[in-house]
Amino acid sequence: MTIDKGEHSTRTIRRPRTDAVRNRERVLEAAKAVFSAGGPEASLEAVAQHARVGIGTLYRHFLTREVLFEAVYRREVEQLADLAEQLKAEANPVEALRRWLRSIVEFVATKKGMSAVLALAVNSSSELSAYSFERLTKAVGALLDRPVAAGEVRADISPEDLLRALVGMCYLHDQPGWQASVFRLLEVFLDGLCRPASAKYGNGVGGGNTRARRSSKSALAR
C-alpha cells in the first residue's frame, strides 16, 4: 500500500510538470504565429487566446513581452539547427541546402514581426546575438560542406557569406508577399552557386554536359 501511495504521489507530481511543458510549447508556437502576422503590436492576450491558455498561464512562463520574444527566437534557432542535422541524411546535398535556406526565410519572417522588441533583447544581450549567429553558421556550414565536397557547389563561398546574403535578400523586401519574391531570388542564387557541369566533370560543351546541368536544375526546382 505504501508503494501504491508513492506511485500515486509520483503521478500527481509529474502531471503538472508535463502540462507546464506542453503549455509553454503551445504559447511559443502561438507567439510565433501571432507576432509574425501582427508584428510587435500584437497583444499578449492574442497570444494566450491563440494558444488556448489563460493570460495568467502565459505570464507564469514569460514575465514580459521581451522574455517571450527572446524565447521564440531561441526556439526557432534551435529548430533550424536540428533541421540541419536531419537534412544531412538527405541523398541530394543541394536539395538539403535548398530546403534549409528556405526555412531561414520563414525564420526571418517571424523575426521581422518581432524585430522592434527583439532588438531590445539583442542589443541588451550580445550573448543572444553571438549564440544565434554561431548556431546558424555552424548549421549551414555542415550542409554546405557536402555539395562542395561532391563538386556540385563552388567552394569559394563561406557559411557566413551564404547566411548574410540570404538575410540581406529578406530585409530588402518589406512589401506584402515578400517571401515569394525571396524564394524566387533564392533559386537564382542557388543556381549561380551550382558549378557548371563542364567544371564539375571536365567535359566540353556536349550532350553529357547538358544532361548534368539539367539534372542539377531539376533538383532545385523540386
- What structural domains and CATH numbers belong to the chain? 1-63 (1.10.10.60), 66-221 (1.10.357.10)
The pair phi, psi for residue 89, each rounded to 5°, is: -90, -5
Cell numbers standing for residue 93: 546535398
The share of the chain scoring above pLDDT 90, in percent, equals: 40
The share of the chain scoring above pLDDT 70, in percent, equals: 72
pLDDT of residue 203: 38
Classify 206 as helix, strand or coil: coil
Q: What is the pLDDT of residues 44-98, one digit of tens each?
A: 899 999 999 999 999 999 988 888 888 988 898 999 999 999 999 888 999 999 9
Rounded-to-integer distance, Cα 98 and Cα 193, Å: 11
CB 147 within 8 A of CB 195: no
First to last CA, the chain: 61
Q: Is the pLDDT of residue 209 over 70?
A: no
Mean pLDDT of 125-143: 85
- Determine if the pTM surpasses 0.85: no
Classify 153 as helix, strand or coil: strand
pLDDT of residue 12: 46
Q: Is the pLDDT of residue 221 over 50?
A: no
